[in-house]
Amino acid sequence: MNALLDPAILFFVFGIVAGLLRSNLEIPAPIARFLSLYLLMALGLKGGFALAKSGLTVDVAMTLGAALLLAVLVPAMGYVLLRRFLNNFDAAAVAATYGSVSAVTFITAVQMLDAQGLPYGGHMAAAMALMESPAIVMAVLLANKARRASGGEGPQTGVGSLLRESLTDGAQLLLIGAMVVGVLSGEAGQQAMQPFSGDLFKGMLAFFLLDMGLQAARHMGSLKGQHPGAMAYALLAPLVHASLALGLAWLMGLPVGDGVLLMALAASASYIAVPAVVRHAIPEANPALYFGMSLGMTFPFNILLGLPLYMTAAKAVLG
């Protein structure tokens, strides 16, 4: 309950209410973009500073390996299931959306851990970066296969160009670059950047979540008339994926903080990176479906209910 009374979460709820009331409240797109870049830069710095203290260890490598495993396993499982009630292209697009990650969900989980004083490894930001691209590559390959099998025409996207586009994406590059800066500058850098990456972080997150609440409310309408199986997947898949992550965290003996973040990553769904790529690489897929599911259902579910649930489960199993 305390998590739901966090100011950032309350601003998210306020944004949803304002959106449902069809208020003209709006965060200008350039400001929303700035807030997104700020949060990624601050997160990267935090991760880099923490990584400078802990260093690269076998445990860190194992955790990153678990993140990559989830990044492959989740979209593969999703595609097999989704094909039962969606066409191949929609199944591939939705599987990619849920196989990739939401940076804002991860950042909100980090803020919750900070509020409760639970430590976590700086390398978890690197885990987020690693988990973003595999699902996109898998989905595009599946779409290319489906296109060839049906004899249809469409873009045959190469894996090389897709990986290059993913790795050089501005947001992804900013996160990684900020982590490198944090590692290189260490404790002195952390003290120098504290007002930027520490003091401002909570307020910026609250402002951004207000905008996300507005966006989520406005995309809920796009889900009308969609397949009931897809709607069920949008709410049940995060719980299944988080459970898989919790099982891996338990097997590896991860601390509670790292377990929560791994669960948050596995349970999240992309609503920025994947839709931007899939819209061009898989034009046969329905954007209202994969974008509406991730932003209109899964994102609010994770922010309001999922993250507190994942934290409670991680404490019970890993604590």
Answer whether 232's CB lies under 8 Å from 94's CB. Answer: no
Q: Summarize pLDDT for 6-55 with one digit per residue, the tens.
A: 888 889 899 999 999 999 999 998 998 898 889 888 888 888 888 888 77
Instruction: Give residue-wise pLDDT tens across range 207-246.
Output: 988 998 998 888 887 778 788 999 999 999 999 999 999 9
Is 103's pLDDT higher than 90?
no
Contact (Cβ atoms closer than 8 angstroms) between residue 204 and residue 32: no
The pLDDT of residue 105 is above 70: yes
Is the confidence at residue 4, as pLDDT, over 90?
Answer: no
**Closest by CA position to 298, among listed 91, 132, 80, 99:** 99
pLDDT at 185: 92
pTM score, two decimals?
0.86
Quick one: DSSP state of residue 197? I
pLDDT of residue 134: 86
pLDDT at position 313? 96
**pLDDT-derived band of residue 152, with 50, 70 and 90 as boundaries?**
low
pLDDT of the residue at 199: 86
For the chain, the structural domain boundaries read 3-18+26-217+226-318
Q: What is the pLDDT of residues 67-91, one digit of tens each?
A: 999 999 999 999 999 999 999 999 9
Residue 155 pLDDT greater than 70, yes or no: no
pLDDT of the residue at 232: 94
Q: 274 falls in which pLDDT band (50, 70, 90)?
A: confident
Q: How is domain 3-18+26-217+226-318 classified at the CATH fold level?
A: Na+/H+ antiporter like fold (1.20.1530)
The pLDDT value recorded for residue 169 is 64
Q: What average pLDDT does the chain have? A: 87
